[in-house]
Amino acid sequence: MEFECMMKEYQLVCEAITPLRYAFGESIEIAVRIRGSEEDEAITVTVILPADFDGDPEAALQTFDKVWWLHNCHRSEGTLTFDYTIASS
């Protein structure tokens, strides 16, 4: 993946932090893990939630999609996806 393209994707990730906090909750810390590979030019941003997360993570992700991602996904040209995982206790 070219440097310019990567910078564009990371800019989108930075812009996504506030809407992710809105969707998953302002009071929790969100750790973001970015995964990519040489074979696959896609970058997956995984929101790592604490084991005691008391919300519905699937509903939160859908809220993020509706509030922000669906309006901005075209900017990634299909190379960026968002997901979540719940950390082990």
Residue numbers of the domain that contains 12: 3-86
pLDDT of residue 72: 96
Number of domains into which the chain is organized? 1
pLDDT confidence bin for 78, thresholds 50/70/90: confident
Q: Give the number of C-alpha atoms closer than 13 A to the C-alpha of residue 45, restricted to the C-beta side.
A: 23
Question: Any idea what the CATH number is for the domain that residue 43 is in?
Answer: 3.30.300
Tell me if 74 sits within 8 A of 8, measured CB to CB.
no
Above 50 in pLDDT, residue 1? no
Q: How far apart are CA 50 and CA 36, in angstroms?
A: 23
Q: What is the pTM of this model?
A: 0.80
